[in-house]
Structure 1
Amino acid sequence: MFQKKKLDLSEQNISTLISEGCTIEGQVKAPAVARIDGTVQGNVTIEQGLILGEKGLITGDIHTKDFVIYGTVIGNVKAQSIEIKSTGNVTGDLQTQQLQVDPGAVYNGALSMESSRKKQELLQSAS
């Protein structure tokens, strides 16, 4: 259930940055990799990946490909891979294929996991 796949979002070019001290109320959408160190009150959709810094706070649902959490999330998360670092705090349901939770991280919610292989098998059997 828990895999040690290291996400390499830190090596990606960050196209969107919401810095510490910034507050956004409303939806946030971005096409590539984003980093949030400020506060977002609303749903967040990032196509490639999202890094939530230690002082970052998102209150709303999140949909992205890869998600690394150092900060606080209050809402549901849907991502292919999720990594909750030791400073991370998540309250909400997670839907993912890969999950890594570091010692010290806090997670409260329901977890739904499905492997990509199983998903492909279900699609093929439906054809």
Structure 2
Amino acid sequence: MFSKKKAKLNPNATDTLVGEGTIFDGKIVSEAGVRIEGQVTGGIDCQGDVAVGENGVVKSSISAREVTIAGAVHGNVTAKGKLTILASGKLFGNTNAASFIIEEGGIFQGVSKMAAASVREEEARAAGRQAESQPASIVPPGERTVVF
């Protein structure tokens, strides 16, 4: 009776907010941006940007276009673009991002892999073909691994 076309959400807009004092347990999938000021346990898969506020705590993996951490993240982070850990931010997990910035005072404990998006896609395809013939300790050409 009422037929509406679903409008595509703008990945540049923040459309989901987990507010301070809120505890969310489950997976968040969003076409737009997500801001976390409370606590999230589960997974975050976002086509837009993810921002973790100073009081935000994420206990899961995050996959997004760009990620900014001012709070605490306990899990792996994949950013198609830039990952920024602000001075108050903490990341306890591995990351794969095209660009990685840690402000003075920010904390990162994990392994970082950096490559441009097109290089990452090609390496992912190549890794699938070479995974059986290559020992896990060898870093593919074009990737930089930094352990803090």
* TM-score normalised over the length of structure 2: 0.71
Q: Distance in 2 between matches of 1:49 and 1:61?
A: 14
Partner of 1:20: 20
Shift of 1:31: 1.1
Distance in 2 (CA, whole Å) between partners of 1:56 and 1:21 is 9
Amino acid at match of 2:71: G
Residue 110 of structure 2 corresponds to 109
Q: Secondary structure of 2:46's match?
A: strand
Per-residue deviation, residues 29-60 of structure 1 (Å, max 9, x unmatched): 11101111000011111111111000000001
Q: Tell me, what secondary structure is at the counterpart of 1:27?
A: strand
Gaps of 5+ in 2: 1-11, 125-148
Paired position in structure 2 for 1:96? 97
Cα distance in 1, alignment partners of residues 53 and 122 from structure 2: 36
Contact 2:13 2:48 in 1 (8 A): no
Q: Which residue does the alignment assign to 1:45?
A: 45
Amino acid at match of 1:16: T
- Displacement of 1:82 in angstroms is 0.3
Instruction: Among all aligned residue pairs of Structure 1 and Structure 2, give the percentage whose two residues are the same amino acid.
Output: 26
Deviation >4 Å, runs of 4+? 119-123
3-state SS of 1:90 partner: strand
Q: What secondary structure is seen at the aligned counterpart in 2 of 1:104?
A: coil
Larger relative contact order (Cα-Cα within 8 Å, sequence gap ≥ 6):
1
TM-score normalized by the length of structure 1? 0.82
- Larger radius of gyration between Structure 1 and Structure 2: 2
